[in-house]
Amino acid sequence: MTNKIILGSRGSKLALIQSESIVASIKKANPDTEVSISRIVTGGDRNHHIPLEAVAGQGIFVKELEEALLDGRIDLAVHSLKDMPGQLPDGLCLAAVAERSDPRDVLISKGDQKLAELAPGATIGTGSLRRAAQLTAFRPDLEIISIRGNVDTRLNKITKGEVDGVILAAAALIRLGWEDRISEYLPVEIFLPAVGQGALAIETRSDDSKITRIVAPLNHLPTWQSITAERAFLRTLGGGCQAPMAASGTVAGTILRLEGMAIEVSENRVLRGTEEGSPSSAEELGVRLAQRLLADGADKFLSP
């Protein structure tokens, strides 16, 4: 007997590529399952004029998908994990995360220049307050231009001469097959990635044991442990606030290493720290690192 399930996805080229990869994995693990994709337009897709920093932590790229899940119109939703708020709505859960792609940020620039090679006053486009803050700390002589839109739209701004370069997630370019456009992979020592960057999340209804069982084989344990620590860090700091935060967890053998950061934008003050521990204690590790940064003064600028 064939199981028929509906997967919810945003309609962008990147979102559909990501969702189709999950569909392929589901079918491989569950040959008797038929999966169709329902394209859902989110608030973030409709409102390109709203700066992302103005709606940080509000889940503008996931809300409509979650509503469709709760209403029963879809059986699971696929998200870029970095788009998900720290706290999920009642009745929904993170059921699995696929193996993470490269979590780093990348620069795509006119003339294929590296970040250090750009002339003073060069313009860099980004819709991320986190990236803007880290860029300002590294190259305060560059001009940051706020941009929105899908990957195509952002890259076209370079072609049209509107900016000299843009900063994007490496995973987006890799999944689109556009790695040859990358001018530079930005080091995490300077550009710590967003929480969950590079990971694909599968969200389901908490009480839907059938779908949970179907997607369970897709869960990649080291990625799950890493993002568990990162999201605990985000929630403890205050996942709904607009101050830029970043965190990156990596598992090597029996050690989970978590690096986290929070930035006070007006004074460009950076608080950064690292914790290590057992991957089985990922949640506690994230909480502990967040509490350290709060004790160091992050509480003064991280009010929700």
Catalytic residue positions, numbered: 83
Dig out the tokens for 36 from the structure: 């169709």
The closest of 216, 196, 195 to 204, measured between CA atoms, is 216
- In whole angstroms, give the CA distance from residue 284 to residue 269: 26
The closest of 170, 297, 281, 180 to 237, measured between CA atoms, is 297
Quickly count: other Cβ atoms within 10 Å of residue 4's Cβ: 10
Quickly count: other Cβ atoms within 10 Å of residue 255's Cβ: 11
How many contiguous H segments (helices) and E segments (strands) does the chain have? 9, 13
- In whole angstroms, give the CA distance from residue 120 to residue 97: 41
Q: Do 92 and 203 form a contact (C-beta atoms < 8 A)?
A: yes
